[in-house]
A and B are shown apart, each in its own frame.
Chain A
Amino acid sequence: MYRYDHYDQAIVDDRVKQFRDQTNRYLGGTLSEEEFRPLRLQNGLYIQRYAPMLRIAIPYGMLSTKQLRRLADIAAKYDRGYGHISTRQNLQLNWPELKDVPQILAELAEVEMHAIQTSGNCIRNVTSDHFAGVSPDELTDPRPWCEILRQWSTFHPEFAYLPRKFKIAVNAADTDRAATRVHDIGLDVVKNSQGSIGFRVIVGGGLGRTPIVGQVINEFLPWTHLLSYLESILRVYNLHGRRDNKYKARIKILVKALGIEEFRRQVEADWAYGKDGALTLTETEVDRIKQHFTDPAWKTLVDESLVTIASYHNDRAFTRWLDRNVHPHKVPGYAAVTLSLKDPKRAPGDITTEQMHLVADLADKYSFGELRTTHEQNLILADVEKSELFALWQEARANSLATPTVGLLTDIICCPGGDFCSLANAKSIPIATAIQERFDDLDYLHDIGELDLNISGCMNACGHHHVGNIGILGVDKNGSEWYQVSIGGRQGLNAYLGDVIGPSFAAAEIPDVITKLIETYIEKRESDEERFVDTVHRIGVAPFKERVYAGKERVALNG
């Protein structure tokens, strides 16, 4: 993974000094709350319902064990002994004291970490495929491009006060695991007919209040022009994006208002000046960055199928885990493993200090001392020898990190919601817990098969509810918490925004609603292979709606 040189280190160290001074001025009264607000946000610091929340950047999800151990220590020393993996692959601390934040940043800087631009109206942490570099279906490793973008966007002087936040994702695989269609800019790494690398540039996607699937602005942008082209997109947005209404300020609204043709014309007109200038990427630089992402010392191993490995142990729980939590690797004899953070006893994505230390030990022992965070709020060990899977599983299971439900109904994506977040309309974690309690039969879960269930506590859609096969959105009705349910959403190259099934529900009704949706699916599916989302798209929303609202006319009318 990328390691800082003295330039990178100097920039992060200067940031710590700068933020220490800003915090001191705020606490000393010479910097007003309004003036401090964007400064602290651009350092990932929210003032929340009960305490500040600090969002620490994990660029494109990559962590070394040294970094994870430091996060574990920080969570123990300055928080309540746990952290939360967010849907942007970052780590959030829910209970730090404002006065301690500069010191936390100093301790992060010692291990090449920071909280730069994890919030605020600026270019956010770039996200990518959590199987980058090991996936059999990728064209090339997307992480060098992510790192190039990280450096370009870090403290970009022209784009620090954009109309609204700006999110970029990079994907280089056949399967889009980075949700590039629902980002402000999505980049697919592609090869043209001459065999050269470039990017399909997608612009104006996003979730939130106005969910929109992004549109292609450039089918093939040669890699040398990546930065100059993105700079032109950002400039057109910075100058012309709406600033009168924060709900209409994302680039998707500008692209929609202008139309993709006119937006492209404006970008290309600006780009005519910047193209081939100093921002043109050089082979020297790309090679320098790529050298940070060289292959680990993979051994030459005999490949065995997971079925064979399962047969050695004849343990049902292990077999289930192999089925759900172990993923293909491009090198024979290796696998990528999800360490699940979806134990029903904890909020989705939460990880304790003890678990962080344990995961660091596991990564050192089994996976070259590195790991990844996922936007599905789990952890990945990317390079595990298949012969070690049983041993790894036993250790992970003993520490509640082996819930065998990756991709299943209870592998819920969930924002912190009303328990922590001051933006939320409604709680989301208790909804997740109630669903996990209802569906605790692993055989039934495996029979239901792949199903993404995503929960957001408000319109801001941090839980990505629109692209959940089942999406749950917390809404406020006259001061009480209600939940709107949508079905049919999906992420990926054919991203689809789910359809709302009808009037919203009280929290206590949600497990029954999910049960009815699942029963409908089980009855209607053509075969065990047809996934929930495919059934929804084949037969439409109506049969699900009828089942859920049968006998609920009164509530529906009032809803």
Chain B
Amino acid sequence: MAKKIIKHGRIVDDSWQVIRLAEGDTPETVVLPEGDLIVPLKVWKAQRQTLLGRPQRGVWLSPDELAEDVAIDLTYFSVVAIDFPQFADGRGYSTAALLRSRYGWHGELRAIGDVLRDQLFYMNRVGFDAYAIRADKDMNNALEALNDFSETYQAAVDEPLPLFRRRSA
């Protein structure tokens, strides 16, 4: 069965494989399988030439890696992912917002890791458009979260104007 993710508000097949370093692997030596890969930022930096030989490639950031760490290389990627080792670690929300609003990333921005239904609405607002929902969770249920609120106060990636600039009596 093909892997599925939520992308652009729908459940779709996913061909990308997320590479994570196992114990003993180093960014320089980890063997990269064939296919479309989303690799750790460190692996991209260590094996840039190998990855440039692939038709397309993706990269993921850990919570302590900043948007500016990947900014100059964005043109090389088809997918940028942000990892949430624990859903309650919210650094990825600022990183996502900055990738979209400051560094001009228009391609797929995917949340990976501990990605759960109840964070999706916020993730969508800060610019994520793809979600690899944690495997034990119901993806259809998660999809509903994108409609949790019909109105919002803040300016964000999904709505560049705060409510106070849109409000009409």
A interface list, Cβ under 8 A from B: 5, 7, 10-11, 14-15, 17-18, 22, 30-31, 35, 38-39, 121, 151-152, 154-162, 227, 235, 238-239, 243, 273, 277-279, 281-282, 285, 288
Contacts and interface: CB of A to CB of B under 8 A. Distances in A.
Contacts of B169: 5
Given A14-B149, A243-B89, A156 B154 contact: yes
B126 A158 contact: yes
A487 B153 CA distance: 44
Interface residues of B, number: 40
B73 interface: no
Contact of B87 (A35, A158, A238): A35
Contact of B154 (A30, A152, A277, A282): A152
Interface of B: 63, 66, 87-91, 93-95, 97, 101-102, 116, 118-119, 121-123, 125-126, 138, 141, 148-156, 160-165, 167, 169
A158 B101 CA distance: 13
A11 B93 contact: no
B163 A30 contact: no
Contacts of B148: 14, 17-18
Contacts of B160: 278
A159 to B, nearest CB: 7
Nearest to A237: B94
A239 B95 contact: yes
Contacts of A160: 90, 93, 119, 122
A39 B93 contact: no
Nearest to A37: B88
Given A39-B118, A273-B102, A278 B151 contact: no
Given A35-B87, A39-B118, A158 B150 contact: no
Contacts, number: 105
A161 B149 contact: no
A156 B169 CA distance: 23
A159 B90 contact: yes
A273 B97 CA distance: 13
Contacts of B156: 157-158
A238 B94 contact: yes
Contacts of B125: 157-158
Contacts of A279: 155, 162
Main secondary structure of the interface of B (DSSP, over half): loop
Contact of B93 (A5, A17, A151, A157): A157
A7 B126 contact: no
A82 B155 CA distance: 39
B150 A14 contact: yes
Contact of B88 (A30, A121, A151, A235): A121
B151 A7 contact: yes
A22 B161 contact: no
A353 B52 CA distance: 70
B89 A278 contact: no
A31 B156 CA distance: 28
A152 B126 contact: no
A62 B94 CA distance: 32
Contacts of B151: 7, 10-11, 14
A228 B64 CA distance: 24
Contact of A158 (B93, B116, B141, B165): B93
A30 B94 CA distance: 29
Contacts of A17: 148
Contacts of A18: 148-149
A273 B161 CA distance: 16
Contact of B153 (A31, A152, A159, A277): A152
A365 to B, nearest CB: 33
B149 to A, nearest CB: 5
Contacts of A162: 90
Contacts of A288: 164, 167
A35 B162 contact: no
Contacts of A14: 148-151
A315 B153 CA distance: 53
A296 B155 CA distance: 33
A38 B86 CA distance: 12
B89 A158 contact: no
A468 B119 CA distance: 40
A11 B167 CA distance: 14
Given A18-B148, A273-B102, A161 B93 contact: yes
Contacts of B63: 243
Given A161-B90, A273-B102, A155 B155 contact: no
B91 A238 contact: yes
Contact of A161 (B88, B150, B164): B88
Contacts of B89: 161, 243
Contacts of A30: 138, 141
A282 B118 CA distance: 33
